[in-house]
Structure 1
């Protein structure tokens, strides 16, 4: 589920990377919906995978670390997006009001974030395994 969620997130970000200064809500909505569905498919399984693999005595520390990691990720994501937009911007950010340059910068930021989401999907596919379910299935098959 985490892999699928991250792929959906990347797909939604790539839809948003087509942004144009003339876009309104109807053009933005599909990208936002796809991205939101991806994030929704990812958040709970990440929490479950994390908390399900921690001894109960360490659940409080794991929970705090997970929440701190989420906040750090959000902060870094915003900083990366801002840096990409600024790098794409011609001239001085404070004096420019070029909507096309802004849209191009935002599009590049969405592309970078989509690449990060795809990398996360690959990482999840390679590293996260549902061991408890596999153990239950083996135990169930032995009892039959």
Structure 2
């Protein structure tokens, strides 16, 4: 849920900034935002079979950390930034999502007894949807709060201030989710037999 919130919850406010703050058309905005799903699909297509052979804590944790790192890169947005400042962060968040998404359903199903694998898969999909819905709501609220109280002059400065707050929250959630996944999903060490 955390990776999905951090990876995709900010897209509506990014679209607002690209159109109202950076002055792009709707088509140009869509093309900029498309960078993320292109990186997502490229990563999944190239590394999908390799990812399934790695331990789940590494893929899920590492992917979520990459999503958090992508948000850290987008903290570079400032009042005088252009749309190109988003590209590195969109690429890295797309790569992180491309690492997590192919592995998440199988990791959830393998963690449950065979009779409950359908429930586990449904829970993983529910967590994705919940992460997206909460991401839009929470990050949209953060954007509204900080873009209206920026103290700066002009729409571009206010939007940049709001986006900085959004990316800081998303980075914390993505990095926190990655650290939790690395720790909590790590398989237990086998008990050593006395000699």
**Which category of TM-score, normalised to the shorter sequence, fits these structures?**
0.7 to 0.9
In the alignment, which residue of structure 2 is the partner of 1:141? Answer: none
Q: Counterpart of 2:163?
A: 106
Query: Mind listing any 5+ residue stretches in structure 2 that lack a counterpart?
Result: 1-58, 191-195
In the comparison of the two structures, how many residue pairs are matched?
129
Give TM-score scaled by structure 1 length: 0.78
Shift of 1:25: 4.1
Q: Which of 66, 74, 80 is matched with 1:16 structurally?
A: 74
Alpha-carbon distance in structure 2 between the residues aligned to 1:19 and 1:38: 20
Q: TM-score, normalised by structure 2?
A: 0.59
Tell me if 1:79 matches 2:137: yes
Q: Which residue of 2 aligns with 1:7?
A: 65
Deviations 1:41-85 (A, max 9, x none): 122232222111122222222222211111011110111111111
In structure 2, how many angstroms separate the alpha carbons of the residues matched to 1:105 and 1:54? 41
DSSP-derived class of the 2:111 partner = coil
Q: Distance in 2 between matches of 1:36 and 1:108?
A: 20
Give ranges in structure 1 of 5+ residues lacking alignment: 92-96, 136-144
Aligned to 2:181: 124
